[in-house]
A and B are shown apart, each in its own frame.
Chain A
Amino acid sequence: MSRQMLLRVTEVEPLTPLVTRFRFEHPERAALPLFSGGAHVVVEMPDDGVLRRNAYSLISDPYDGSGYEIAVRREDTGRGGSRFMHGQVATGTDLRVSLPLNLFALDPRAKKHVLIAGGIGITPFLAQLRQLERLQQPYELHYAARSQAEAAGLKLLPQTAQVHVHISENGDRMDPGALLEGQPIGTHAYVCGPEGLIAAVMDAGARLGWPPSALHAEAFAAPPPGEAFRVTIGSTGAEIEVGPHQSLLEALEAAEVEVDWSCRGGACGRCETGVRACHGRIEHHDHWLSPEERAAQTKIMPCMSRFRGDRLVLDL
Chain B
Amino acid sequence: MTKHFNDETFRGDYTYYNSPEAIRRFPFPFDRDSYMYSVNIEQHPGGPAGSPFEYAFDVDEHYVAEMKDRAITLAEDPLRCQSLPHMELAGWDLLELIMEAKARDYPDLFGLHKDGDRWHWINRPLRIDQRFTFLDATTLPYGPMEYITRQAQGDFALLHEREGNLWMDAGMVTSQADWSLDFDVGMNFFEWHAPVPKAKKMGVFDKALKFLLAVQQGQAYRRLNWTMTVNPRLDTSPENYHKWGPEKRTITPQNVGRKQFLRVELQSFWRLPRSNAIVFPIRCYLACLDDLASQPKWGRRLHRVLRDLDPVLVEYKGFAVNRDIIVAHLARYDDGAPTSPGIFPD
A interface list, Cβ under 8 A from B: 2-3, 33-36, 39, 62-63, 99-102, 105, 107-109, 131, 134-135, 213, 262, 268-270
Contacts and interface: CB of A to CB of B under 8 A. Distances in A.
B163 A213 contact: yes
A269 B161 contact: no
Nearest to A4: B218
Given A99-B219, A108-B86, 20 more contacts: A3-B219, A33-B217, A33-B273, A34-B274, A39-B276, A62-B273, A62-B274, A99-B216, A99-B218, A100-B217, A100-B273, A102-B276, A105-B276, A108-B87, A109-B85, A213-B163, A262-B216, A268-B213, A268-B214, A269-B214
B137 to A, nearest CB: 12
Contacts of A101: 216-217
B162 interface: yes
A193 to B, nearest CB: 22
Nearest to A272: B210
Nearest to B87: A108
B219 to A, nearest CB: 6
B214 A105 contact: no
B104 to A, nearest CB: 14
Interface of B: 85-87, 89, 135, 160-163, 210, 213-214, 216-219, 273-276
A107 B160 CA distance: 9
A70 to B, nearest CB: 17
Given A107-B162, A109-B86, A262 B274 contact: no
A213 B163 CA distance: 7
A198 B311 CA distance: 53
B213 to A, nearest CB: 7
A36 B213 contact: no
19 contacts: A3-B216, A3-B219, A33-B217, A34-B273, A35-B217, A35-B273, A36-B273, A62-B273, A62-B274, A99-B216, A100-B273, A101-B216, A105-B276, A107-B162, A108-B160, A109-B86, A269-B210, A269-B213, A269-B214
Top 7 closest A-B pairs, CB basis? A108-B86, A34-B273, A36-B276, A105-B276, A109-B86, A99-B218, A102-B276
Nearest to B161: A105
Nearest to B84: A109
A36 B218 contact: no
Most buried by B among A35, A102, A131, A262: A102
A262 B219 CA distance: 12
Contact of B214 (A3, A36, A135, A262): A262
Contacts of B160: 108
A36 B275 contact: yes
Most buried by B among A3, A108, A134: A108
A63 B135 CA distance: 11
Nearest to B216: A101
Nearest to A268: B214
Contacts of A109: 85-86
A108 B216 contact: no
Contacts of B86: 107-109
A134 B219 CA distance: 27
Nearest to A62: B274
Contacts of B273: 33-36, 62, 100
Contacts of A34: 273-274
B214 A270 contact: yes
Contacts of A63: 274
A270 B212 CA distance: 11
A270 B216 CA distance: 11
Most buried by B among A36, A63, A269: A36
A105 B160 CA distance: 11
A108 B275 contact: yes
Contacts of B162: 105, 107, 213
B89 A108 contact: yes
Most buried by A among B86, B135, B217, B219: B217
Nearest to B160: A108
A273 to B, nearest CB: 14
A99 B275 contact: no
Contacts of A131: 274
B108 to A, nearest CB: 24
Contacts of B274: 34-36, 62-63, 131
Nearest to A135: B89
B267 to A, nearest CB: 21
A107 B165 CA distance: 13
Contacts of A108: 86-87, 89, 160, 275
Given A34-B273, A102-B276, A108-B275, A3 B210 contact: no
B85 to A, nearest CB: 8
A2 B216 contact: yes
Nearest to B135: A134
A3 B271 CA distance: 13
A221 to B, nearest CB: 17
Contacts of A3: 216, 218-219
B160 to A, nearest CB: 8
B272 to A, nearest CB: 9
A114 B161 CA distance: 20
Most buried by A among B85, B135, B214: B214
Contact of A99 (B87, B89, B217): B217
